[in-house]
Amino acid sequence: MPVSAPRIELGTHDVANQPVPRAGRDLWSEDLMLQDHATAHGAQLSSLAMAGASYGAAEQFEAAAEARRDPPRLQLFDRAGRRLDEVAFNPGYHRMMDVAKSCGYASVAWEGRPGGHVTHAAQVYMLAQVEPGVCCPMTMTYAAIPALAADDRLSADWRPKLLSRSYDPSLRPVAHKAGATLGMAMTEKQGGSDVRANTTRALPDGDHYRLTGHKWFCSAPMSDGFLTLAQAPGGLTCFLVPRWLEGERNGIRLQRLKDKLGNQANASSEIEYVDALAYRLGDEGAGVRTIIEMVHHTRLDTAMAPAGLMRAAITEAHWWVQGRSAFQRRLIDQPLMRAVLADLALDTEGTLALGLMMAAAFDRADDDSRALARIGVALAKYLGNKRCIPVIGEAMEVLGGMGYVEETPMPMLYREAPLNGIWEGSGNVICLDILRTLAREPRAGEVLAAVLDEARGGDRRYDAALEAHRARWPGLPPEAQARWYAESLATLLTAASLIRHAPAPVAEGYVTGRIAGDRGSLPGSVADIDTDAILARLG
């Protein structure tokens, strides 16, 4: 009988030169950038410490991954053919919604304590690093509060439920729930951003209205109600449409869920109003004026979310290069790699700094601060989202082939990167809105100029760039130059925020790379920045 050869263990699956995967992290205590800027703008620090630990826990990252692996499913009918018009979510989605509600994402800005909007904005930044799909319904719930102020009775009925820190996904009227969320349904396929072209009709019916029409985008269709626009006898009007009535569903028919590039844990849908009961918010014909407060506040969140996405990407890249070696050197010790990461970190911190600066303007009640918030949040949204896509693409490249693998967060972050630049006004819409605001509200331009001037003297190159901007555009630019103008103004405003509130190496590095022009056109093509000091802020 032949004797078998001895078995040799080759060890082909021994793992070397691979960082140990992280289960979770504290999104507050490990983020020096966030701590510095949140403190400078008066945030509620203990609240953020609690939220950062909660959002970054290992079980929340796993819940988020489950929600993406098992995306929302449309359930139009029950087995007997009765309409359901519901969306089923993975339990991980509900766990994420619950932690966001309990941490006060949607409510902290309205609870009467100082620094509420800054605290909210910092939560947007943190939650976007874990599961951006949950940010959508939470943001709309937060942003609906000022729009509801147009009707005292509706505000009294809905505000306490929206501000509750209890998450209640049950299917019943809002009066019987522990907490509620609110969505939005404005866009129609023939109009897009031109909401005045909406064709949905609203007919008076006693103390309410009945709506009939189709909405091309309804965000978060499992919300308890929706703010929507429809043509009433007196013109385009804002309405609150509850999803459930006493004893029956309202006439809201789900048509389909959108098959989106990203934001996959969140359901976005087309809906049809079929004689749906609705309550008017504000006067007939004043729909845009009523809902603009909601849009204004959602824009704050679309300015903050890209900072969170960039932070998540660069944190992953930084962790990777600390645990990888090539050519006998750790990647983090290689000068070119440090230059790339430091350059990306400047965009990340600049976007964070400007977003929290604008959130602080939301917290102040004076007219000048409101004027600053109106123009500044549009500038922040425009620049931050234009920076987001290349930053995340470069951070993905740092991981090499591994960055293209779904087991890392990089593909999710990359798919997410364009979203906030599209939501609540894409690039051209925002730039034209900036010009309209400066033309119609001269005070906004005056307050913005004062903020830019306050940073003078901190860096002579900033001073020269500010003068050059004003010399090039002594007034408003022609429409075709609106993007150049907005980019220049937003970059200066970001630099002003960093000069006032960031360590000198960060402010000087941003001015070097974004204003002085002493660089190439691609990320990492920059010299004379303090890479050690900048990278130290990544933890």
For the chain, what are the domain ranges?
Answer: 32-284, 289-536
Q: How far apart are CA 340 and CA 20, in angstroms?
A: 23
Q: What is the mean pLDDT of residues 411-422?
A: 97
Residue 7: the pLDDT is: 59
Q: Is the pLDDT of residue 4 over 60?
A: no
**Structural tokens at position 348:** 């990340």
Q: What is the mean pLDDT of residues 101-114?
A: 98
Q: What is the mean pLDDT of residues 294-322?
A: 97
Confidence bin at 539 (pLDDT 50/70/90): confident
Q: What is the mean pLDDT of residues 452-465?
A: 97
Q: How far apart are CA 265 and CA 270, in angstroms?
A: 17
Q: Domain 32-284: give its CATH architecture.
A: Beta Barrel (2.40)
- Of the candidates 315, 319, 323, 300, the one whose C-alpha atom is nearest the C-alpha of residue 345 is 315
Whole-angstrom CA distances from 173 to 169, 182, 248, 518 are 11, 13, 9, 60
Average pLDDT, the chain: 95
Confidence bin at 2 (pLDDT 50/70/90): very low
Q: Is the pLDDT of residue 8 over 60?
A: no
Residue 190: the pLDDT is: 83
Q: Is the pLDDT of residue 1 over 50?
A: no
The CA-based angle 221-226-232, given to 5 degrees, is 130
Q: Is the pLDDT of residue 18 over 90?
A: no
Residue 208: burial class (beta carbons within 10 Å; 0-12, 13-18, 19+)? middle
Residue 225: the pLDDT is: 97
Q: How far apart are CA 337 and CA 524, in angstroms?
A: 8
Confidence bin at 424 (pLDDT 50/70/90): confident
Residue 5: the pLDDT is: 53
Pair 278, 284: CB distance under 8 Å: no
Confidence bin at 140 (pLDDT 50/70/90): very high
Pair 492, 448: CB distance under 8 Å: no
Q: Is the pLDDT of residue 3 over 70?
A: no
Q: Is the pLDDT of residue 131 over 70?
A: yes
Does the structural domain 289-536 have CATH classification 2.40.160.40?
A: no
Spatial neighbors of 273 by CB under 8 A, at least 6 apart, are: 200, 211, 212, 213, 214, 215, 228, 230, 241, 251, 252, 253
Q: What percent of the chain has pLDDT over 70?
A: 98
Confidence bin at 9 (pLDDT 50/70/90): low
Q: Is the pLDDT of residue 49 over 80?
A: yes
- The two beta strands, 182-185 and 225-232, are parallel
Confidence bin at 6 (pLDDT 50/70/90): low
Q: How far apart are CA 298 and CA 300, in angstroms?
A: 5
* 420 DSSP 8-state letter: H
Q: Is the pLDDT of residue 85 over 80?
A: yes
